[in-house]
Structure 1
Amino acid sequence: MASRGKTVTGTDGNDHTFREKVAVQYKVSAKLKKNLQRMFYILLVPFAIISLHVFKLNEVLKITNQVLPEPQLWEKLYLSSLIFNLIGFTSLSRNNVQRLSVYFYGSSITVFSAIGWAAYIHATDAAMFVVQGRVRAYLFGQPLVIVTYFFLTVLTQMNIFALNYARNLMKAWQAKGCKSE
């Protein structure tokens, strides 16, 4: 719609960069929420792998012809951290700091105690492989202890990423209402 007469200087629409500023914590929150949500989806892969082993679904689905070792208690402990992942995932929709902190602390305790326990259990096999070159079992043509430690390393890294995103997201959510410089 055309205006009649002259327009006041400063209202030509070029001042939008000064008026429309989004606080930094909201930009950070959106980015971290997306990254953490991706990590929750990525963490479903090791949950699926461990679930196949613990619930002996390989025998039903015939994914591999390999004879797998019996499930260990650390795998069941790791699967219990799925509860905390679900709590963390549900916290993202409402920016719920309390739920995210339950995820952060619960997942930290269950995941890293399970991974530490697994590393401790397989330490003698690793020492035997390094010192003597002997291996008790193979999986997919590789020493089982090497496959296990590789899996534990990747699992640790993925959970560290997810917990780091959660920690930073909690900081961003708690910063709401604070002025940024």
Structure 2
Amino acid sequence: MATKGLYYTPPGTDGTDHAFRQRVAPQYALSALNKSRLKYCIFFHYLLFFAMLAKLSADILDKLDIFILEIEELSIPQPLWWEYIWCISLLLSFLGLTAIKENRVSIMKQYVSGLCLFGFLPLFYAIIYYFGDVWTYLTSDDEDELEDIHIWQGYPYGLLWYAFILLALQVHTFSVYFAWNLITAWSKGAKKS
């Protein structure tokens, strides 16, 4: 290609044509951003699930009649029903990922409602269930009252659960927020087209 000198720049390529360039519609930019963020939240949900699975491993192995001495020596407390119900919330991540892939509002709404049912409700139950032990541990100076608290590996069991619950509530809250932003963006895109 022939040029008109050493430093020749063709017209329109020097940045002066910026007013005529196409722009991405705001709902599509918002959709791309929230898709990425929701995928990160689902990844952290998987990490929390593996932590819960490690806690449930002793009970699962007992039900399968598998004996591993190292796990039995940890004397992990028996799980409550809310722990297994919370694990169901991981299956909902497949709904969320499918909705992200296909931009489907109805599937994303199912993901949000399922996350509220199987993610938030078991966690709220656990907050109420362990509140007495946590409150006693944090406010009591009497050794006799502290003896009534369930201790595991030298740590108050309810306080350990509260740490898990705090992380899980953050992940679920952000997941619902980003999913709702996607529902809003996709609904706007559907109305315009």
> What's the TM-score once normalised by structure 2's chain length?
0.78
Could you tell me which of 72, 81, 100 is aligned with 2:80?
72
CA contact (8 A) 1:78 1:110 kept: yes
Query: 1 CA distance for matches of 2:43 and 2:191?
Result: 31
Q: What residue in structure 2 maps to residue 150 of structure 1?
A: 163
CA contact (8 A) 1:66 1:139 kept: no
Cα distance change on mapping 1:75 and 1:158 into 2, 3 Å: same
Q: What residue in structure 1 maps to residue 33 of structure 2?
A: 31
Q: Deviations over 1:81-116 (max 9, x none)?
A: 122121111211111111111000111111111001
1:106 aligns with 2:114: yes
Query: 2 CA distance for matches of 1:142 and 1:95?
Result: 45
Shifted more, 123-132 versus 92-101: the winner is 123-132
Q: What residue in structure 1 maps to residue 12 of structure 2?
A: 12
CA contact (8 A) 2:133 2:150 kept: no
Q: Deviations over 1:55-86 (max 9, x none)?
A: 42687494795321001100011011122121
Deviation at 1:164, TM superposition (A): 0.7
Could you tell me which of 92, 98, 101 is aligned with 1:90?
98
The one-letter code matched in structure 1 to 2:36 is K
Deviation at 1:17, TM superposition (A): 4.2
The one-letter code matched in structure 2 to 1:40 is I
The one-letter code matched in structure 1 to 2:107 is R
1:139 aligns with 2:152: yes
> What's the TM-score once normalised by structure 1's chain length?
0.83
The one-letter code matched in structure 2 to 1:91 is A
Aligned length: 174
Could you tell me which of 145, 164, 172 is aligned with 1:159?
172
CA contact (8 A) 1:139 1:147 kept: no
CA contact (8 A) 2:45 2:90 kept: no
1:50 aligns with 2:58: no
CA contact (8 A) 2:34 2:181 kept: yes
Unaligned runs of 5+ in 2: 4-10, 62-66
Q: Deviations over 1:129-181 (max 9, x none)?
A: 234344533334321111111111111111101111111111111111567xx
RMSD (Å), alpha carbons: 2.7
Unaligned runs of 5+ in 1: 4-10
CA contact (8 A) 2:130 2:158 kept: yes
Could you tell me which of 17, 21, 41 is aligned with 2:23?
21
SS in structure 2 at match of 1:70: coil
The one-letter code matched in structure 2 to 1:28 is L
Identity level (%): 26
SS in structure 2 at match of 1:20: coil
